[in-house]
Chain A
Amino acid sequence: MNHILEITDLNKTYSISKGQEQAVLKNINLQIHEGEFVAVMGASGSGKSTLLYTISGMDRMTSGEVLFDGQNISSLSEKALDQLRQNKMGFIFQQIHLLKNLSMLDNIILSEYFAAKESRDSIRLRAEELMKKTGIAALADRDITQASGGQLQRVSICRALMNQPKIILGDEPTGALNSKATADIMELLGSINESGTTILLVTHDVKVAAKTERVLLMEDGEIVGEQYLGKYHVDSDDVKVREEKLSAWLLKMGI
């Protein structure tokens, strides 16, 4: 099976004050194969989000190697990293992070307009199609103050999907949503993953993690364990069973 992401001895340290450094990521080794749906769990400050931002190139690593789709991220220039994010990655944040002065539809198409790989009409049509699929077609012209958290997160997902990414990186994408919206978003992400897109997300929520294929546990900047749950099939799998299995493992791991 092809690995979309191969991480070897990844380290990330921040300097706190003169001469003092804090290691946030310590010797991370990880492989994620194409089409996998992985969740990273851990307490606050364990380094989950930093791992995500380092993989995307938004944050520079201190040492180690990250191979994404065959490209060594650590050796890429700022410009090449921009292009990589623009063409092969999709991002979903907990705090939505949509541009305030653009409508929903404009937020979705913005990056593709910059990339200009196809005509503007075709970009718009694709965006409208995605909005329809995610149930937010009616929101196209609205601004971000005129939608619920769940709707905004759907807009974020549409935006992340616009460049038909190889991977979607989600930093607690359901962290600010209620349980109904969380379930809806996870269903949406599940169907995206079904269509072959790799997803790596960070979460605190066992219910969210239980719907992923594999769960990694981080503690103090290290991956201290991993639990394979297997693909989640809405129709055939009992989510409760998966949640219990995961909870039991987490308990065993001291969480």
Chain B
Amino acid sequence: MLAKILKKDFKRNKAIAIILFVFIMLSVLLASSGTTMMTQLFRSINHLFAVSSAPHYVQMHAGTVDRDAIHSFAAENSLVKSEQISEMLVIDNANIYFGDNPAADTSSVMDNGFVVQNKSFDYLLSLDNKRIEVLHGEIAVPIYYRQQHHLNLGDTIRVSAGSSDMTFTITEFVRDVQMNPSIISSKRFVVSAADHEALKSMTGEIEYMIAFQLKDLNKLNEFKTAYQSAGLPAKGPAIDYSLFQMLHALTDGVVAVIIFLVSSLLVLIAVLCLRFTILTTLEEDYKEIGVMKAFGIRQQHIRNVYLTKYIVLAGAASIFGYVVSLCIRPLFLSNMALYIGIAPQSILQSLIPILVAGLVFAFVLLCCTLVLRRFHKISAVEALRAGAMGELKLNTKRMPLYKSRVPSVNVFLALKDVVGRFKMYLLLFFIFVICFFIIIVPVNFLHTMQSPSFVSYMGVGQSDMRMDLQHSDYMQERFDEVQQYLAQDTEIVKFAPLVTSKYSVIGSEGALESIQVETGDFSIFPLKYSSGNAPINQNDMALSTLNADALAKKVGDSLVLVINGKHHEMTVSGIYQDVTNGGKTAKALLPYQPEDVLWYTLNADIRHGGDIGAKITEYTGLFPGVKVTHLEDYMHQTLGSTIKQIKMVTVLAVIIAVFISILITSLFLKLLTAKDYSGIAIMRSLGIAVAHIRKQYVIRILAVLAGGILVGTLMAHTFGQSLVGMLMSSMGASNIQFVTNPWVSYFLYPLALGLVVTLTTLVGTLSMKKYSMTRMITE
């Protein structure tokens, strides 16, 4: 009899068994892919950092360098293991021509540095993680440009300045431990020493990279303080090891975390479905179980029969999921393989995904065991007498049909059913909440990142045009010239010059730390502050979220800036979100010292209806060396890679959510119509057409979907927003506010999901036409 029950169960619920199999399989597939990605990411980053011998601290410097002073500092400082000063020739975008493109990419926001391969550490690697060596006339190009300009080995790059011209053949693509991620707005090209010299005489500005490797990485902060207080060159940003690691991990890390979250949701769904299926099966087999108990078959024995079925199902699904994850691994690792490279496999790394698959399997079984504890509640006598599980809970009095004023009987009956048996519909409701949540969070996040107002998370106010001037000897004059021109330009409605300089601040531990402070009038292009306001008084200072965290400051706190050896007490007027420059920036109204300037920025708005593109071309032509960009382009280029990843995640989330909705709706309908078999037969015997009955099912499911969408939306805007905030906090924007496109989020997607679910219900209830009423009535 036991084997007969199992056989009958599989025959009866073939489709359900397949759906459960698919869910467990997908859960395992994503869980093991997510963990593979995470473990691979950490190993690959470590591998890349080891092979390239990553620097622990890098100080960029624009201006002259006293090499002896740096050498003697390094020699005297016990923390330093090795030191290296390398020249980076920064060439303007207007002078670089990629491939066959006759025009230079002037809209690019990237700073292009031409370097020779380093000698001691910080090696620039090829795609097979070998140190790049280039000969005369050859060039190694950053991976970012390979993607951006679809470059291939053998293509050419031309550097042109005035009448001089140099053409290089691409022989390698550069994997750069410092500047790989697209969010970093500098990229390094590798040329031969001779070519570097030739280029130097042709065009560009020299910047120095003063890099250090320490004996003990844990003493990085101590070293930073020592360097900054030694009065050594520091006209430029300073970057350290942890920032390199974080920026590398960001893109793929976010994807891995999302995949892992989706997989957790799938496990949850699989378990809920199993619970629903087991309970429905027990309900249907109630009488048989009663008979078996009456015969004296031990409860444990009967329970094991049911459990065996789920052990086989979950076991097969887990193994299959794991095997498929091995097959599609390259898909998940492709971005990482290109940018970071794949580290050699370790045994542990292979074991972790298997372990995760095993954990999912164990969790599913645990849940099955817990649900099957219901066996204790089945009494043989009750089962034989009632033939159905538990007492029928009716609520006929709550919504009587004869009092109904709802014009459609179908609508009324459907709603009455949903209200009356809501506990049963909870599974579907919960699934719809999850599905809409996993659609709407990435959709809203994507829309937020693509919206022009996302610029407020980048520490700048919204403007039409942005001009960047890196520090050089003549940049101050150029800055003044641009300002004068802007002031006379009738098409410019308003503009704001901002200067970023380097200052020293007394950090949270009392040591001097360097801080980049932007000065200027912040009221022209106001920024949205997450707390407090823009600086208004001379001693006001606004901090980016990451800086406020690092300095342990909140609005109203004071901090001490050291300017020309004198202490200036400043008050934190506001905190804003900024994902640029490693997220650590500040704003104040300080008078700037030209010799401490890091870079200049000019933001401008063009009169309504003006041609922004034409204006950008005009300014680019007029002021060579000045990087003129449309603010949206600036955002697109710096966030492009992340947006691309999120787009992929969004598409994946939508596909998964639709897939889940279809599967669970089908599964639910299968079980529901089995449960309602006699009710459907009764209605049919009364001459109520199948079309009416199917309509009722569609309305029931749509009513549950509407509730799911409502709660899903609320959750997306609360929990989802916080979740994204958590992910983004490492980048410097913890307080993300979703910018939604109501048309897409609240109309298009609900409508699409509604259509999918309606179609599924219509297909799922199609078999009702073939139901044998006689069998239903007589059974």
Q: A: which residues have CB within 8 A of B? A: 49-50, 53, 56, 58-59, 78-79, 82-87, 89, 91, 93, 95, 97-103, 105-106, 109-111, 113-115, 120, 124, 127, 141-145, 159, 171
Contact = CB atoms under 8 A, between A and B. Distances in A.
A87 B687 CA distance: 8
Contacts of A91: 685-686
A78 B692 contact: no
Interface in B743-779: 769, 772-774, 777-778
B690 interface: yes
Contacts of A95: 777
A82 B691 CA distance: 11
Contacts of B401: 102-103, 106, 109-110, 113
B392 A100 contact: yes
B396 A143 contact: yes
14 contacts: A50-B774, A78-B769, A82-B687, A84-B687, A93-B685, A95-B777, A99-B682, A103-B402, A111-B687, A111-B688, A114-B688, A124-B402, A141-B397, A142-B396
A103 B687 contact: no
A102 B773 contact: no
A91 B678 CA distance: 15
Contacts of B417: 101
Contacts of B683: 99, 110
B420 interface: yes
B610 interface: no
Contact of A106 (B396, B679, B769, B772): B396
A91 B773 CA distance: 13
Top 7 nearest A-B pairs (CB, nearest first) are A86-B687, A85-B687, A143-B396, A106-B401, A103-B396, A111-B686, A58-B773
Contact of B409 (A113, A145, A159): A113
A102 B396 contact: yes
B769 A53 contact: no
Contacts of B420: 101
Contacts of B400: 103, 105-106, 141
A103 B688 contact: no
Contacts of A115: 687
Nearest to B409: A113
A97 B678 contact: yes
A79 B400 CA distance: 28
Contacts of B416: 101
Contacts of B394: 100-101, 143-145
A115 B401 CA distance: 15
Contact of A86 (B392, B688, B772): B688
B382 to A, nearest CB: 15
A145 B416 CA distance: 18
B689 interface: yes
A144 B395 CA distance: 11
Contacts of A84: 687
Contact of A53 (B679, B690, B777): B777
A58 B777 contact: yes
B60 to A, nearest CB: 74
Contacts of B685: 56, 58, 85, 91, 93, 97
Contacts of B689: 79, 82
Given A101-B416, A102-B396, A59 B773 contact: yes
Interface residues of B, number: 32
A96 B683 CA distance: 13
Nearest to A53: B774
B681 interface: yes
A59 B396 contact: no
B777 A97 contact: yes
Contacts of A105: 400, 402
A114 B679 contact: no
Contacts of B421: 101
Contact of B686 (A59, A120, A127, A159): A159
B684 interface: yes
Contacts of B684: 58, 82
A100 B676 CA distance: 10
Contacts of B692: 114
Contacts of A113: 401, 409
Contact of A59 (B397, B402, B774): B774
A182 to B, nearest CB: 21
A113 B688 CA distance: 10
Contacts of A111: 686-688
A171 B776 CA distance: 14
A78 B686 CA distance: 13
A13 B70 CA distance: 102
A91 B416 CA distance: 25
Most chain A C-beta atoms within 10 Å of own C-beta, residue among B392, B394, B420: B394
A116 B421 CA distance: 27
Contacts of A143: 394, 396-397
Nearest to A95: B777
Contacts of A144: 394
Most chain A C-beta atoms within 10 Å of own C-beta, residue among B392, B681, B683, B687: B687
Given A103-B396, A143-B396, A145-B394, A85 B686 contact: yes
Contact of A89 (B402, B687, B688, B772): B687
Nearest to B410: A114
A208 to B, nearest CB: 19
Given A53-B777, A97-B678, A142-B396, 18 more contacts: A53-B774, A58-B777, A85-B685, A86-B688, A89-B687, A93-B685, A97-B682, A97-B685, A99-B679, A101-B396, A103-B397, A109-B401, A110-B409, A110-B683, A113-B409, A114-B688, A143-B397, A145-B394
Nearest to B681: A97
B679 A82 contact: no
Contacts of A145: 392, 394
Contact of A110 (B397, B678, B686, B777): B686
Interface in B365-385: none
Most chain B C-beta atoms within 10 Å of own C-beta, residue among A50, A110, A141: A110
Contacts of B774: 49-50, 53, 58-59
A58 B400 CA distance: 29
Contacts of A106: 396, 400-402
A56 B688 CA distance: 13
Contacts of A59: 772-774
A56 B777 CA distance: 13
Contacts of A110: 401, 409, 683, 686, 688
A36 B678 CA distance: 31
Contacts of B688: 82, 86, 110-111, 114
A234 to B, nearest CB: 30
Given A93-B777, A111-B686, A100 B679 contact: yes
A109 B394 CA distance: 19
Contacts of B396: 101-103, 106, 141-143
A97 to B, nearest CB: 5
A96 to B, nearest CB: 9
Contacts of A100: 392, 394, 679
B600 to A, nearest CB: 74
Given A97-B681, A98-B682, A109 B402 contact: yes
Contacts of A83: 687
A82 B773 CA distance: 12
A17 to B, nearest CB: 15
Most chain B C-beta atoms within 10 Å of own C-beta, residue among A82, A145, A171: A82
Most chain A C-beta atoms within 10 Å of own C-beta, residue among B400, B402, B772: B402
Nearest to A96: B682
Contacts of A114: 409, 688, 692
A93 B773 CA distance: 13
A90 B685 CA distance: 9
A100 B773 CA distance: 18
Contacts of A50: 774
Nearest to A162: B686
B286 to A, nearest CB: 16
Contacts of B402: 103, 105-106, 109, 120, 124, 127
Most chain B C-beta atoms within 10 Å of own C-beta, residue among A56, A106, A115, A141: A106
